[in-house]
A = this chain, B = another copy of it.
Amino acid sequence: MARITPDQTAEIAALRAETSQTRRATVPALEEILYDPLPVLDHGFVRVIDYMGDDAAVVQAARVSYGKGTKKVSEDRGLINYLMRHRHTTPFEMCEIKYHVKLPIFVARQWIRHRTANVNEYSARYSILDNEFYIPEPQHLAAQSQANRQGRDEVLTGPEAKHVFDLLRDDAMRAYGHYEEMLNEGETRDESRQGLARELARMNLSLNFYTQWYWKTNLHNLLHFLSLRADAHAQYEIRVYADAMMDTLKRWVPFTHDAFMDYRMGAVNLSAKGLAVVQRMLSGEPVAQENSGLSKREWRELMDSLGRPV
């Protein structure tokens, strides 16, 4: 099944064709892709539906200004860096973005744990879900990590991989077939049967079926979401969504994006003990895990982040 039906493609094209005059802050680079589905996984997508504000709006709010509140570009960039560095988060809350996302249910279950967002999900109580489910690409069919219970190891191959694909696909197809059969709706309806309530029948679908929602959040909360979900420790299947949203972030608020990469995504938090170790090392003292005050695990994490893997 296609990611987007021809009807949906036409609806999106119609939306994109309409333009209006506005006095509001407007970001051409984001307007370029407005409403366009950015493909993610085998059937999913992320679409930017609307946005409010831009980098200048962050500056304007920080200065509580009557007009634009912006000064020289370098000063504005400096102010955004300062706000990010010192965790002055409220000015970033003054920008807002709204996405339409299509995603597997097990990804939606992780995502919804971020509570500071507005959500309208397609209701399987009220409507019928489409026959679309996620099957990993071969290079993402990973084995369980033995070192990290929450992680993946190398990729499955050969007959084991083939068997897993068969199981996932067959079970999903059977689940959907039975879902339709229990519902007993539409053209193939068997009038001798009543059909099970939609709110009950849905329970037969598995967690790789796709759902969709409108998801809206402010820039500060978006950054928090991205810092966790675009992180290397996030599950691959949600990380690809975060990656697609990171691209929209860069189009939308380039200064904020750069500050975010420097002070958050690429940054490292040194604990009090870790800082003491670094200070000793900088003063030329040889430090080993044994005399560091750190546990083995923390020592390894610290050396990793300093680019000196153990």
Residues of A within 8 A of B (CB): 4, 8, 11-12, 14-16, 18-26, 31, 34-35, 49-53, 57, 60-62, 64-68, 78, 85, 87, 90-91, 93-94, 96, 98, 100, 104-106, 108-109, 112-113, 115-116, 118-123, 125-127, 134, 136, 141-145, 149-154, 156, 160, 164, 167-168, 171-172, 174-175, 178, 181-183, 185, 193-200, 202-208, 212-214, 216, 218, 228, 235, 261-263, 265-275, 278-279, 281-282, 295, 298, 301, 305-308
| A306 partner, pick from B60, B104, B278, beta carbons under 8 A | B278
- Cβ–Cβ < 8 Å partners of A213 in chain B: 64
- Cβ–Cβ < 8 Å partners of A119 in chain B: 90, 113
- 30 A-B contacts, Cβ less than 8 Å apart? A12-B66, A14-B68, A19-B23, A20-B22, A21-B31, A22-B26, A50-B53, A51-B52, A60-B214, A61-B120, A61-B214, A64-B122, A85-B301, A87-B228, A90-B119, A113-B119, A123-B150, A136-B200, A141-B196, A143-B194, A143-B197, A144-B195, A149-B198, A171-B175, A171-B204, A174-B174, A263-B271, A267-B275, A269-B269, A278-B306
A269 vs B269: C-alpha distance when bound (angstroms): 4
| A120 partner, pick from B91, B174, B261, beta carbons under 8 A | B91
- Cβ–Cβ < 8 Å partners of A49 in chain B: 60
Q: List 10 additional contacts besides A22-B22, A106-B203; criterion CB under 8 Å.
A: A52-B96, A64-B214, A94-B118, A112-B112, A134-B203, A144-B198, A152-B200, A154-B194, A171-B178, A279-B306
- Cβ–Cβ < 8 Å partners of A8 in chain B: 66-67
- Cβ–Cβ < 8 Å partners of A195 in chain B: 143-144
A303 vs B172: C-alpha distance when bound (angstroms): 46
The count of identical subunits is 4
- Contact A153 B197, CB 8 Å, known A270-B270, A272-B267, A308-B282: yes
